[in-house]
Structure 1
């Protein structure tokens, strides 16, 4: 089974999270991921990752989507080596990591070209495992 990969450079402006959401949902839809609830949850994860990277990461922000069977990993790299951490919500933010933890199977951070890459493994998309392996969805 092959690995599908898409890489996108993210513009550093207030519209970046929306553009990233739309791009990732379009890519995943093209790859056969069709469950709307799963796509909606994925869009929230992407939005949180990109928002944090644009707000706190600085420099170049790169988004990558990988699919291997029904496993999908979304990652965002930025120039800051400071790792994200869960914090108490306030009027400005603090909900992103909690949302990601609620909507995804897990997340990790690794060093990436002097900055960091936050990798989020999504829950399997309903109906995709059989469709990608040649069975009926």
Structure 2
């Protein structure tokens, strides 16, 4: 008799948390986000999963560069959306700036995050910092 184990993905898995304090952790945040999206049942379509990974990458990178040098990422799933919450120690909200098309100094990230998300909110905390909540449809 043959026995096999079947892994059952969850529609609403427990939140997944990643903490980072260096650019090396951005890769881990992307990989964890991809695995989280793939574990959902039903899984988001490939374009939505790619958008989620890009949003997480941008938010975590911005937290490192502009938000105090560290971040906490929390991923959650709802029936209709997936939410990435990125916290950092800076109370300063992201600001939109004109993208630098020639000098390579950036300015594209916040524009992308705003365009790719269906819901976007900034809340105070933890501590004196902020959390950016970005939701994308499933």
TM range (shorter): 0.7 to 0.9
Q: Provide the residue aligned with 1:95 in structure 2.
A: 108
Q: Provide the residue aligned with 1:108 in structure 2.
A: 121
Instruction: Give the superposition deviation at 1:82.
Output: 0.6
* Number of residue pairs the alignment of both structures matches: 123
More strand by share: 1
What's the TM-score once normalised by structure 2's chain length?
A: 0.81
SS in 1 for 2:21: coil
Largest Rg, 1 or 2: 2
Say which of 66, 75, 78 aligns to 2:76.
Answer: 66
| Cα distance between partner residues in 2 of 1:67 and 1:9 | 15
- Decide which moves more: 89-98 or 42-51: 89-98
CA contact (8 A) 2:63 2:70 kept: no
Kindly report the root-mean-square deviation, in angstroms, between the aligned alpha carbons of the 2 structures. 1.7
Q: Where do residues 1-137 of structure 1 align in structure 2 (5 Å cutoff)?
A: 3-32=12-41, 33-58=43-68, 60-90=70-100, 91-112=104-125, 113-122=127-136, 124-125=137-138
- Decide which moves more: 27-36 or 79-88: 27-36
- Decide which moves more: 54-63 or 82-91: 54-63
SS in 2 for 1:94: coil
Instruction: Give the superposition deviation at 1:59.
Output: 5.1
| Cα distance between partner residues in 1 of 2:69 and 2:30 | 20
What's the TM-score once normalised by structure 1's chain length?
A: 0.81
**Structure 2: gaps (5+ residues):** 1-10
SS in 1 for 2:49: helix
**Structure 1: gaps (5+ residues):** 126-137
